[in-house]
Structure 1
Amino acid sequence: MTTTRADVPQVTVTRWTRTSRVGTPAVLVLFVIMFALPFMTALSNVRSVTDLLIFIILGSMWNIMAGYGGMESVGQQAYIGLGAYGLVVLADQLGINIFLAVPLAGIIAGIIAFLFSFLAFRLVGGYFAIGTWVIAEVVKLIITQFPSLGLGSGISLYAMSAFDRDLRIAVSYWIALGVTVLALLICVLLVRSGFGLGLTALRDDPIAAATSGVDVSRAKRLVFVISGVGTGMAGAIIAISTLRVQPDSLFSVQWSVLMIFMVVIGGVGTIEGPIIGALIFWGLREALADYGSLYLILLGIIAIVFALFFRGGVWGLIQKRRRFSVFPTGYSTWFGRLK
C-alpha cells in the first residue's frame, strides 16, 4: 500500500480549547459588566456580591496552596487578621491612601507568611495543619497586647469616613472586584508556567518531584507567600466593608473551615473549582441564613457527602461528562491530516 502525504496524521498541541476560547473572553466581559453593578442595583445587593468576591479570593488562595502546593493549612485566618490590622495601621495611623494600603497590607501579610514558613515547614501532614492553626492563635494573642490596636476589643477603621455611605459601599466593592481579578490572573499564570507543573508534581509526590529537579522548599515557600498575600488583601477588604477590626472575628478558625468547604465542594486543584464553591456557599448562605443552626448542619452534610463520594467536587463531576475548561491552563491535542 502506498502512503501519501495526506495519510500522515498531524498532531497539534495547544493550551486553548473550544470552551476556553469562549470561556475566558466571557469571564472578562462579565468582570467589565460587574464594574457597573453599583449603578445597576440596590446597595444591599452590592454588599452581598462584595462578600461573594471575598469568598472567591479566599477559596482561590487556599486552593493554590493546598490544591497545587499540597499544604493543607487551617491557619489562614492569621493572614486575614494581619491584612485587616495592617490596613488600619497603614490607612489610619500612617495616612496612606486606602487604594494603596490594600496591596501593602497584603504584602505585609506575605512577608510575615514568609517568616512563618521556616517554622511551619518543619511539620508535615496533620502536624502542619495543626501547626498553622497554633501560629494563627499566637498571632491573635500578640496583636491583642497592643493598646494602639484596641487590645482584645478591636479597633474601627476611620480612613473610609471621607466617603459617604453609598460611595463607601461602591468603593469596597470595586476594590474587591479588582483584587478578585488579580487573584484569578495570578492563579492562571502560575498554573500555566513551568513552575506550576513543578507544583503539580510536588503535590502528587514530593520525593519524585525533588528527584525530577523541582526545588521543593522554594516552590512550597513561594506558594505559601502568594497565598498569604492574597488572603491578607481579602482581610483588608473585610475591614473596609465592615469598618471594624475585631480579633475574635478575624482570627476565627471558621475562615479556614469556609475556605476548605468551598474548595472541596467546587473542586481541589482547579482554577474553576473555588469559584464554583464560593458561588454555592454564597447562595446557600443567602437562602438559608435565617435558619440558624440548620443552615450550618446542611453545610456540614454537603461537605461530608462531597468528601466521601465526589472528591473531585462539582467541577470534577462536570469534567466527567465532558472535558473542558474555562481558562487555558492545561494542554490539549487534536489530530488532523497533513495536506
Structure 2
Amino acid sequence: MNPSILIGRVLLLAGVVFLLAAPSLLSLRGLQLSTEFLTLLVLALMWNLLAGYADIVTVGQHAFVGIGAYAFFGFLVFAEMNPYLSVLLAGLVALVLAAPIMAIIFRLRAGYLAVGSWVVAETLMLLAGKLPTFGGGSGKSMPVATVKQFGGSAIERYVNIYWLALALAVVALLATWYLIRTRVGVGLTAMRDSEEGAGAIGVNLHRTRILCFLWTAPFLGIAGAIITSQKLRVAPPASFSIIDWTVYVIFIVVIGGIGSFEGPIIGTIVFFFLRETLADLGVWHLIILGAVSITVVLIEPKGIWGILRRFLPGDLIPLGHRPKSRPQPKSAE
C-alpha cells in the first residue's frame, strides 16, 4: 500500500476512535460542537449524493430538515411518544413528503430545479409559521418534562443526543458507501462523469434520480430531529434555515470536493475549523468563507480532495470494484 494512502487511512481511523471516545473526553461545549459536526456531515453527504452524483442541484435541502424537526416535535411533545421512536418517525415523515415534493420539482431541470426546490422549502417554512399549536411564527420550546426524557442532567442529555448523531452519521456513511458500490452506484458514477454518456450506455437517469432523492429524505429528516433535540425548540426561521442547512452545506461540499466520498468529510472539518477560528469577526467570517470557496474552486474545481488526489494514487475510502483475476489456461505442451 502506498505510504500516503496508509497515512490518510490511519488519520481517518484516529478520527473514528476520537469520536467513539468523545463523551469521555469532551466538555458540554465540545459535545455540542461534535454533535453539530456529525449532523452537518450527514447533510453534506446527502447533498453531495444529489448534486455531485445524480446532478440534482437543489438549494431547498433545508425543507426536509424542517419537516423532520416539526414532525419530531409533534410526535414527542403532543403525541407523547418515546423520544427515540419520534426521531425515527421524523425520518419516515420526511420520506413520505418527499414523494409529492419530488413530483413538483422534478418537472424542472438545472437552475429552474434549484429555484423550485428553494421555493418549496420557503413555502413550507411559511406554512409552519401558520401552525398555532407549534407556536406560529415565533416557535415553541419543549416542556421540561419532555426534555428530561433524553436524560435527567445536562451532561447525560448531551451524551445521549451525541450518540444519536454519531449513529446517524455512521449509518449514513456506510449506507451511502454501499449504495455507490452497487450497480446503482456504478450508474451514479457514470452520471457524475458524463450524463449523456451514462444515458447512452443504458443508465436509467430518471429512475436513478428518484432513488437518490428518496434516499436522502429520511436522513435529512432524522438530522432535523436531532438538531431539534439539541436546540430544544422549533421555530420556522431556525428549523427551515437556508443558511445553516443549505448554504453552509453547499460550501462544505464545494470546498471539500463535490462528487467524491472524501469531500464532505474534508469540507466539514475545514468548515468547523474556519467557523470556530473566525467566530469573533462577525459578518467578516461569511466574507472570508466566500473568498476561501472561490479560491479553492479556482485552483481545483473538485475542491481540496481534488488537490490532494493529484498526489495520491488512489482513494482513501475505496468505492470501486477490482475485477477478480481469472486463472490462465495452461498451454498445451
TM-score normalised by structure 2 residue count:
0.89
Distance in 2 (CA, whole Å) between partners of 1:20 and 1:117 is 39
Compare 187-196 and 225-234 and name the one that shifted more. Answer: 225-234
Q: 1:22: Cα distance to partner? A: 8.1
1:58 to 38, 43, 52: 43
Moved over 6 A (4+): 16-26
Residue 273 (1) aligns with residue 263 (2): yes
Which structure 1 residue ranges, 5 or more long, are not aligned? 1-15
Q: Which residue of 2 aligns with 1:134?
A: 119
Which structure 2 residue ranges, 5 or more long, are not aligned? none
Inter-CA distance 118–207: structure 2 relative to 1 (3 Å threshold): farther
Compare 285-294 and 17-26 and name the one that shifted more. Answer: 17-26
Q: Does structure 2 conserve the Cα–Cα contact (< 8 Å) formed by 1:19 and 1:324?
A: no
Inter-CA distance 300–21: structure 2 relative to 1 (3 Å threshold): closer
Q: Does structure 2 conserve the Cα–Cα contact (< 8 Å) formed by 1:188 and 1:329?
A: yes
Compare 30-39 and 164-173 and name the one that shifted more. Answer: 30-39
Distance in 1 (CA, whole Å) between partners of 2:324 and 2:36 is 41
Distance in 1 (CA, whole Å) between partners of 2:324 and 2:195 is 32
Distance in 2 (CA, whole Å) between partners of 1:247 and 1:117 is 22
Distance in 2 (CA, whole Å) between partners of 1:226 and 1:183 is 10
Q: 1:124: Cα distance to partner? A: 0.6
Q: Does structure 2 conserve the Cα–Cα contact (< 8 Å) formed by 1:157 and 1:239?
A: no
Q: 1:125: Cα distance to partner? A: 0.6
Q: Which residue of 1 aligns with 2:74?
A: 89
Aligned to 1:142, the other structure's residue is in SS state: helix
Aligned to 1:321, the other structure's residue is in SS state: coil
Distance in 2 (CA, whole Å) between partners of 1:72 and 1:43 is 36
Aligned to 1:209, the other structure's residue is in SS state: helix
Residue 190 (1) aligns with residue 175 (2): no
2:282 to 284, 292, 317: 292
Write the letter of the residue equivalent to 1:268: I
Q: 1:160: Cα distance to partner? A: 2.4
Q: 1:115: Cα distance to partner? A: 1.8
Q: 1:28: Cα distance to partner? A: 5.9
Describe how 1:152-301 pairs up with structure 2 within 5 A: 152-158=137-143, 159-162=146-149, 163=151, 164-254=153-243, 255-301=245-291
TM-score normalised by structure 1 residue count:
0.88
Residue 40 (1) aligns with residue 29 (2): no
Q: Does structure 1 conserve the Cα–Cα contact (< 8 Å) formed by 2:2 and 2:313?
A: no
Q: Which residue of 2 aligns with 1:304?
A: 294
For the aligned residues, what is the CA RMSD?
A: 2.5
Q: 1:202: Cα distance to partner? A: 2.6
Distance in 2 (CA, whole Å) between partners of 1:129 and 1:92 is 34
Q: 1:34: Cα distance to partner? A: 2.1
Distance in 2 (CA, whole Å) between partners of 1:83 and 1:289 is 28
Distance in 2 (CA, whole Å) between partners of 1:285 and 1:333 is 43
Identity of aligned residues (%): 37
Q: Which residue of 2 aligns with 1:10?
A: none
Q: Which residue of 2 aligns with 1:9?
A: none
Q: 1:331: Cα distance to partner? A: 4.1
Q: Which residue of 2 aligns with 1:123?
A: 108
Distance in 2 (CA, whole Å) between partners of 1:203 and 1:313 is 15
Distance in 1 (CA, whole Å) between partners of 2:247 and 2:163 is 26
Q: 1:288: Cα distance to partner? A: 1.0
Greater relative contact order (CA < 8 Å, ≥ 6 in sequence): 1
Q: 1:250: Cα distance to partner? A: 2.1
1:153-202 CA deviation, whole Å, 9 max, x = no partner? 11223432232211111111111111010110111001111101111223
Inter-CA distance 73–152: structure 2 relative to 1 (3 Å threshold): same
Q: Does structure 2 conserve the Cα–Cα contact (< 8 Å) formed by 1:17 and 1:325?
A: no
Inter-CA distance 229–295: structure 2 relative to 1 (3 Å threshold): same
Aligned to 1:221, the other structure's residue is in SS state: helix
Write the letter of the residue equivalent to 2:38: L
Distance in 2 (CA, whole Å) between partners of 1:309 and 1:18 is 25
Write the letter of the residue equivalent to 1:316: G
Inter-CA distance 23–91: structure 2 relative to 1 (3 Å threshold): farther
Q: Which residue of 1 aligns with 2:313?
A: 323
Q: Which residue of 2 aligns with 1:145?
A: 130
Distance in 2 (CA, whole Å) between partners of 1:201 and 1:213 is 10
Q: Does structure 2 conserve the Cα–Cα contact (< 8 Å) formed by 1:69 and 1:223?
A: yes
Aligned to 2:310, the other structure's residue is in SS state: helix
